[in-house]
Every structure is written in C-alpha cells, then in structure tokens.
C-alpha cells in the first residue's frame, strides 16, 4: 500500500527538520544558498516518494542520510567544481575592449548579431554549435552571421577602415 503525505504531515516535517537540514548542509557546503537548495531537494524527495518510517529515529536518520548524500553529490558535481560565487566573480573585472578595436566594434552590433559573431570568431564555435547553444535553427545562425558581418563591415568602413 503506497504511503501518502498530506499537507499537515508535510508541514510537520518542514517544521521538525528544516533547521537540521540547513545546518547540516551548511557544514558541508559553507554556503547558505546551497544549503537552502539542499533543503528543498531533501523535502522534494520525501514529498515525491513518501516513505513509511518505523520510528521517529528512523525518520530522522533518513533525513540526515539523505541530506548528507545530497551535499556530497553537489560537492562532487561538475557544476560545483567549475563555478564560483558571485562575490568572487565580482572581484574580477570584465576586460574592456580598447577604443577603435575590432572587439569594440563587435560590441556595438545589435545583440543577436553581436552574440553569434562573438561566439563564432572569439570562442571558436561552429554555426551548428551556436544554434544548439542558443536553441535556434542553424540556418538562423548562418543568417545572423552573414548580416552581422555586413553590419560590422559597414561600421568599420564608416570609421575609416578599409
């Protein structure tokens, strides 16, 4: 017989265990935001597939084990290893293109053309890869590249480049 979780039981679990989950997650992750994400993850697991616990100790043990496992999964995930906090990213200023440079001219193109020109020439993606990244049709990306090049040529000619 499947176990169902009513609203009152869900509220009881949140009141009983949210502090525990947050504190335990924070000790693993040292991030309040990540700890809150783990808290939601643990409760979602419990709400999506309710379990029958033999005792309050069994319930608490499951919560602790699930929280620890979710934290460990996050710590070994590729996403966690390759990202930094916004505070750390804010300390590194974005490079400013030099006035009169090609990159500065690309920056003055309309966004749809600017993005594809940048990804194609500066990051080395093919039109098909850009289409996949942006969720667009490859023909659309090819058209934007062609139009972006034409607009870039016009901009550069107006500034005296030949």
The reported pTM is 0.50
Give 10-residue mean pLDDT values along the chain (162 residues).
Answer: 68 90 90 92 87 88 92 84 68 64 82 88 89 92 95 86 67
Residues near 29 by Cβ (< 8 Å), separated by ≥ 6? 35, 38, 71, 74, 75
Tell me the C-alpha distance between 162 and 146, whole Å. Answer: 18
pLDDT at 50: 76
């Amino acid at each position: 017989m499947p176990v169902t979780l009513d609203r009152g039981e869900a509220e009881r679990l949140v009141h009983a265990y949210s502090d525990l989950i947050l504190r335990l997650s924070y000790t693993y992750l040292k991030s309040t935001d990540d700890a809150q994400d783990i808290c939601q993850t643990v409760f979602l697991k419990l709400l999506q597939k309710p379990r029958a616990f033999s005792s309050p100790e069994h319930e608490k043990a499951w919560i602790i084990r699930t929280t620890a496992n979710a934290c460990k999964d996050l710590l070994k995930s590729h996403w966690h290893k390759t990202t930094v906090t916004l505070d750390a990213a804010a300390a590194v200023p974005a490079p400013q293109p030099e006035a009169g440079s090609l990159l500065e001219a690309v920056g003055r193109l309309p966004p749809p053309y600017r993005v594809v020109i940048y990804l194609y020439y500066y990051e080395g993606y093919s039109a098909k890869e850009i289409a996949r990244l942006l969720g667009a049709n490859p023909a659309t990306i090819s058209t934007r590249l062609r139009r972006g090049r034409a607009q870039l040529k016009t901009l550069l000619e107006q500034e005296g480049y030949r």
